[in-house]
Amino acid sequence: MSDAATPHDAGPDHAGSEDPNQPKRWGLGHALIGYVVAYLLAGLAVGVYAGLAGVHEGQRTLGLAIASLLGLWTGMAGAVVFAVRRQPGGTLPSEFGLAFQWSDVPLGAAVGLASQLFLVRLLYLPFQLNDPDLARKLEKPARELTDLAHGPAFIVLAVLITVGAPLVEELFFRGLLQRSLLRRLGPVWAVGLSAAAFGLAHYQPLQLLGLVAFGAVLGLLAWRTGRLGPGIVAHVFFNLVTVVALAASR
Would you place residue 103 in the very low, low, confident or very high pLDDT band (cuts 50, 70, 90)?
very high
CA 212 to chain centre: 11
Q: Residue 149 pLDDT more than 70? A: yes
Q: Residue 22 pLDDT more than 90? A: no
What pLDDT is recorded for position 237? 97
* Mean pLDDT on 200-227: 94
Q: Which residue has the higher pLDDT, 140 or 10?
A: 140
Domain residue extents for the chain: 28-248
Would you place residue 20 in the very low, low, confident or very high pLDDT band (cuts 50, 70, 90)?
low
Q: Other C-beta atoms within 10 Å of 132: how many?
A: 8
Q: Other C-beta atoms within 10 Å of 90: how many?
A: 19
